[in-house]
Amino acid sequence: MTENEITKQAIDAAYKIHTTLGPGLLESVYESVMAHELTKRNLNFTRQQPIPITYESIHLEIGFRTDLIIEDKVIIEIKSVQTLTEVHKKQLQTCLRLANKTVGLLINFNESLIKNGIKRIANGAINEPWP
């Protein structure tokens, strides 16, 4: 399965979740429900996967944790905030680089329209909402 096919499935799941539950819940709730939706779609994923970081001679086994990694290809970062800011996008860019992944989705479930809360980030470049 390609990164584009995976992101399409993840976006479809996010739309379904947002239509059913709406905005205003905690990020942990959306993450759990997203995991349920991915399981229903027979997608392999990990939750809260630790990503190691090496800085000079220091090696940290858990430099940070990703919310979800689907099919070992696409990182999903879930937010439930008033507005996505540049720091959220930069954090996902850094996660992609350090985890050696090419595509990620930043999904803010706290939007009236979920399409306004989805940012696709690829190869270090932030793209406009997708699709």
Does some domain include residue 34? yes
Does some domain include residue 131? no
CA distance 131 to 116: 10
User: pLDDT tier at 78 (50, 70, 90 boundaries)?
Assistant: very high
CA distance 92 to 97: 9
Number of domains in the chain: 1
| Mean pLDDT across 84-95 | 90
Q: How many residues make up the chain in this entry?
A: 131
Angle of helix 27-40 versus helix 3-21 axis, rounded to 10: 120
| Mean pLDDT across 30-38 | 97
How far are the Cα atoms of 6, 18, 96 from residue 14, in angstroms, in the given order? Answer: 12, 6, 20
For residue range 15-31, list pLDDT tens digits in order.
Answer: 999 999 999 999 999 99
* CATH value at residue 41: 3.40.1350
Q: H/E/C letters for each residue in 31-87?
A: HHHHHHHHHHCCCCEEEEEEEEEEECCEEEEEEEEEEEEECCCEEEEEECCCCCCHH
For residue range 43-59, list pLDDT tens digits in order.
Answer: 999 999 888 888 888 88
pLDDT confidence of residue 59: 85
Q: Is the pLDDT of residue 88 over 50?
A: yes
Q: Under 8 Å CB-to-CB from 42, ≥6 apart: which residues?
A: none
What's the domain range around 52? 3-126
CA distance 110 to 117: 8
Does some domain include residue 76? yes
Does some domain include residue 55? yes
Percentage of residues in the chain with pLDDT exceeding 90? 69
| Mean pLDDT across 73-96 | 92
Q: Is the pLDDT of residue 130 over 50?
A: no
